[in-house]
Structure 1
Amino acid sequence: MSSATPKKRLKPKISSPPPPPSASRRSPIALEPPRHLFPSKQELLRLVVVLAIASSVAVACNFLANFLRPQTKPFCDSDLDALDAFADDCEPCPSHGECHKGKLDCARGYRKLGRSCVEDGDINETARKLSEWVENHLCESNAQLLCYGMGTAWVPAEEIWNDLDGHPLMKNFGWDTAIFIYTKQKAIEATGKIMQNRTEVSGMKELKCPDSVAEHFKPYTCRIRLWIFKHVLLVVPVSLLLVASAMLIWKVRCRWHLSTRVEELYHQVCDILEDNALTSKNSNGETEPWVVAARLRDHLLLPKERKDRVLWKKVEELVQEDSRIDRYPKLVKGESKVVWEWQVEGSLSSSRSMKKGEQGKLKSSHGRHLNFDQPSPESRRDLQASLQ
């Protein structure tokens, strides 16, 4: 018997489907990409130019930003050696500054500005005002010594230091602070550059205002007095000359006023005597023709003029020289009086008109008006009754 050999089962072949009839009909040109899928040469060139410009702008902006805002380095410590301070990994500590662990602290009297230390303006201004106050104090003290010999010129610096403690400007910095002490030191140092200074044997420093500067602080009375003492050989003769001139002018003026007033009184006396004589003549003896000289004097003179004996004496001299007036003693009410009487004989009308014209000129020149220049008949009668 023959052994049966197993037969392998054949797998059926799977046939691919036939292509569609439309695909077999397409032409080979339809399988190529479209023409506008890739850029042309001109567009590609433009793209390259735009990218180049954008890259240049970006590089320039980055460089400018790094230049304007450089990366700050820490400060080198102040206690480093001079060679180590110029290392590339740190920046040297600026002047008037103290650096520690890369940080900057400014010294007293300085403040931080950026990465440097500058002087503090408030402290400098306060120190300047304090220095001016000390200068004025020293110069006034020296000026008092030069003028009146009182006070002292040399002032100890320690005394000035203590005086600054009570100055109102120092209250802005507080008491017993580092800025307070630094401001006083700066003020005294500035003063020492202008004022004279010396050191005593004990080591104490003293300051003094120069005499040339103290001259401007002297009072005006002191300046005038010192100038007179300096030019005494010139001042004394000029002063005497001025006094003599003033006295001469005063005497001339007094004499002129006296002579003018004497003439004015003399004309008034003549008018009164003449009117009294005419009135007595017309009244047929009812009125006395004479007038008491003392009563006439008291009537014409002002109260302050009665003390001047020279004034009425001059009037009496003119009356005595006048031939138209008689002067003689007469017993009036039991007392002997000197009376004056006008001589009626002669051309009285012409003389009277002349005197009236002269009195008018005197009144216009001196601006004075007397009530008895042109008396009325009633006032004449009253005057005659009072004078007799």
Structure 2
Amino acid sequence: MARRTVRSRSEPRWPLAAEPLPGLFPAGIHDALRLLSVLAIAAAVAAACSVLNRRPAPFCDSDDPYAAYDSCEPCPENGRCVDGEVRCVEGFKRRGRVCVEDGLLTHTANKISELLQLRICDEHARALCGQPGKILLQQHDISSMADELLSKDAARLSDDGIKVVKDRVLQSAHGFLETTSTYDKVQAFKCPELAAELRRPLSCQARQWISSNIVFVITFCVLSAALLRILWSIYQRWALSKRAEQIYEQVCEILEDNAINAKVGNSECEPWVVTSWLRDHLLSTRERRNTLLWKKVEELLLEDSRIDQYPKVVKGEAKVVLEWQASGSLSGKFKKMQGAAGKARRSSVGAIKLAEEICGSSSISGSSRDKKEQCSSTGKEATNPLM
């Protein structure tokens, strides 16, 4: 009889799943970090290989309007694409897959825009001043001016660059100019009134200002002329008075010295001096024509109590003479007050001539030789200068 195998109660009825091998999963935090690092490096390597192996799509030709953008990339702005390659126009540089400006176009456009605006405003300013010039400009006039200015400063630009610059210049001009309409409803452009007025020449501005303020200008000129005349009259009176005082002081010195010399022993010179002689000696030719000057001197002489003025017959002619009446000599004090260094000295020849003229009218007695010797000595003793 076959034996029946008796199973132990401790053994399971169904076999359990196989347990994982020891060391398959990380046992700690350090092993987990190590595993994540390995996975990240593997992902980065896979992504780099995918990018390097992928070839960028070519650029669509600029002349092909039916290019499908799923098979090629559109040509960037300011670029020319041929056979999948891009070439930037003049004034632009390629950076990656786009064309960026290098500054030449902007500089040229700004310069041409400024020159164009100045020319348009100068035309307007000439018209405001009554000279030949246009105020209203149409689109083709502005375009012609821009072409003319670009032809003078387009040596470094290609045709594409010139086109870009012109578009920017026209856009800037339209933003600066005022838009209006002509009598036939045509759109026109003109320089702003304020900018045109500032561009007028100074002569034109002055002329227009005077014409618009003619009443004020005439009134100002009349008042200015009257004021200048009054000031000039005051100055002339002051100068006349100043000069008369100088001549008066010289006359006093001459009369005082002559009176002292006349009292010297054996002197035949008279103590008086003819007024006309003093006038002719002290005044210049131009000053003699001014009768007010000598009249002012005579007024000062009449007010001086030290000087006596009376008529006298000299050589058969009636003359008016002056004589110093003060006793003693004040010449030393007077010269001290005036300062010897500050006064001009008369020449010895003039002193001798004046002495001869004064002494010539003295007494008739005596030889002419003695008179000349006496007058010469008198002239040498005279210390006061003749101006």
Structure 1 residue 369 corresponds to structure 2 residue 361: no
1:251 aligns to what?
Answer: 233
1:309 aligns to what?
Answer: 291
Seen in structure 2, the aligned counterparts of structure 1 residues 62 and 203 have a Cα distance that, compared at 3 Å, is: farther
1:57 aligns to what?
Answer: 41
2:275 aligns to what?
Answer: 293
Which one of the candidate residues 248, 251, 272 is aligned to 1:266?
248
Q: What is the identity, as a one-letter code, of the residue corresponding to 1:348?
A: S
2:169 aligns to what?
Answer: 187
Q: CA RMSD in A?
A: 4.5
Structure 1 residue 163 corresponds to structure 2 residue 184: no
Q: CA deviation at 1:311?
A: 0.8
Q: CA deviation at 1:125?
A: 1.5
Q: CA deviation at 1:287?
A: 1.2
5+ unaligned residues in a row in structure 1: which ranges? 1-39
**Distance in 2 of aligned mates of 1:49 and 1:182:** 58
Structure 1 residue 348 corresponds to structure 2 residue 327: yes
5+ unaligned residues in a row in structure 2: which ranges? 1-21, 361-387
Q: CA deviation at 1:41?
A: 7.2
On the 8 A contact 1:197/1:208 being kept in 2, the answer is yes
Seen in structure 2, the aligned counterparts of structure 1 residues 50 and 266 have a Cα distance that, compared at 3 Å, is: closer
1:153 aligns to what?
Answer: 134
Higher-helix-fraction structure = 1
Seen in structure 2, the aligned counterparts of structure 1 residues 191 and 263 have a Cα distance that, compared at 3 Å, is: same
Question: SS at the partner of 2:239?
Answer: helix
2:356 aligns to what?
Answer: 385
Identity %: 31
Q: CA deviation at 1:195?
A: 2.4
On the 8 A contact 1:273/1:291 being kept in 2, the answer is yes
Larger Rg: 1
Q: Deviations over 1:102-152 (max 9, x none)?
A: 3335567655432123345312221210111121222223223323x1120
Structure 1 residue 173 corresponds to structure 2 residue 157: yes
2:313 aligns to what?
Answer: 330
Counterparts of residues 69-88 of structure 1 (less than 5 Å): 71-76=55-60, 79=64, 84-85=68-69, 87=70
On the 8 A contact 1:157/1:205 being kept in 2, the answer is no
Question: SS at the partner of 1:313?
Answer: helix
Counterparts of residues 10-49 of structure 1 (less than 5 Å): none
Q: CA deviation at 1:369?
A: 1.9
**Distance in 2 of aligned mates of 1:292 and 1:62:** 134
Counterparts of residues 221-236 of structure 1 (less than 5 Å): 221-236=203-218
Seen in structure 2, the aligned counterparts of structure 1 residues 370 and 101 have a Cα distance that, compared at 3 Å, is: closer
Task: Calculate the TM-score normalised by the size of structure 1.
Answer: 0.66
